[in-house]
């Protein structure tokens, strides 16, 4: 299905723009960390280092998406109809999916209490802001720009899975190699893509992505695994034992617990999408 109201794009031009966009993002993700490390800007770990590193990668991605959208005629910052309601719905979906994945890990015996953390409201607030920037940059780049761009040539039914594949492959440039982790990124990309298509904008996808990532890192302390990040967490849980159920450095991201949870979220959305057309 094409995007209602959008001009039909030339397949060659759209494919070229999408490939260039994905390649540009891969360069930022692949070489950005090395350049930042070599610059000496980050002199210490913790809140300062995490903040500078994350913003130095994702703010350029956000700017690139906005510029790319202007050059290709795509409204990259479109939140869709009823953005507040869509944001809340997406957040409920993302948080519910995370709880489901954690529940499977607990049943498998990999979820344990960590060593604890010193709680700082200021650090948690800054961490939430940084996660918001990261999530927004990813969603604007892929679901705000590339997905509607591809849809102008081949329709949304093709655009959602194609861009989800690109979303997963981008993380290969960042060093990700595990097959389950790649599968989970693909499923996550499909989930965010469907939420964007159904809502006619980014609000639902940003809500789901933010709720999952924010709660995983700052709520339950599951990312990084083991331990907690520089911003701290409300509670500290670790995943230990079977890697298949999260007991590795990649945590839930490389677990079948996350796979099952994402599939549980995706299947109803796919069925609903077949009954009702997606929006612009």
Domain positions in the chain = 11-275
44: left (phi over 0), alpha (psi -120 to 50) or beta: beta
pLDDT band at 280 (very low <50, low <70, confident <90, very high): very low
The total of other beta-carbon atoms located within 10 Å of residue 11's CB is 12
Summarize pLDDT for 13-72 with one digit per residue, the tens: 999 999 999 999 999 998 888 888 777 666 556 788 889 889 999 999 999 999 999 999
What are the structure tokens assigned to 61, written together? 């991605």
pLDDT tier, 2 (very low <50, low <70, confident <90, very high otherwise): very low
Write the pLDDT tens digit of every residue in 82-95. Answer: 999 999 999 999 99
Q: How far is CA 149 from the centre of its chain?
A: 19
- DSSP-based helix, strand, coil % in the chain, nearest 5: 70, 0, 25
Q: How confident is the model at residue 7 (pLDDT cuts 50, 70, 90)?
A: low
Exposed, middle or buried, 126 (CB in 10 Å: 0-12/13-18/19+)?
A: middle
pLDDT score for 5 = 41
pTM, to two decimals: 0.91
Backbone torsions φ then ψ of 77, nearest 5 degrees: -100, 20
Classified as helix, coil or strand, 236 is coil
């Amino acid at each position: 299905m094409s995007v209602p109201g959008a001009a039909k794009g030339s397949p060659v031009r759209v494919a070229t723009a999408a490939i260039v966009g994905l390649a540009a993002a891969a360069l930022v993700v692949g070489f950005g960390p090395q350049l930042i490390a070599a610059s000496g800007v980050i002199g210490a770990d913790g809140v300062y280092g995490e903040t500078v590193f994350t913003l130095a990668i994702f703010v350029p991605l956000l700017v690139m998406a906005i510029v790319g959208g202007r050059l290709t005629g795509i409204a990259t910052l479109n939140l869709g109809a009823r953005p507040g309601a869509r944001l809340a719905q997406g957040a409920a979906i993302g948080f519910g999916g995370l709880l489901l994945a954690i529940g499977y890990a607990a049943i498998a015996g990999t979820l344990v209490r960590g060593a604890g953390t010193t709680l700082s409201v200021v650090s948690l607030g800054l961490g939430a802001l940084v996660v918001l920037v990261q999530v927004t940059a990813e969603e604007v780049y892929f679901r705000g720009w590339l997905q509607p761009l591809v849809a102008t040539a081949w329709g949304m039914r093709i655009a959602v899975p194609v861009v989800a594949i690109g979303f997963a492959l981008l993380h290969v440039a960042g060093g990700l190699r595990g097959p389950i982790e790649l599968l989970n990124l693909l499923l996550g990309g499909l989930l965010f893509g469907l939420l964007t298509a159904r809502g006619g904008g980014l609000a639902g996808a940003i809500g789901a992505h933010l709720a999952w990532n924010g709660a995983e890192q700052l709520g339950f302390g599951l990312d990084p695994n083991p331990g907690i990040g520089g911003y701290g967490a409300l509670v500290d849980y670790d995943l230990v034992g079977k890697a298949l159920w999260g007991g590795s450095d990649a945590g839930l991201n490389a677990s079948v617990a996350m796979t099952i949870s994402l599939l549980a979220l995706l299947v109803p959305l796919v069925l609903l999408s077949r009954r009702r057309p997606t929006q612009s």
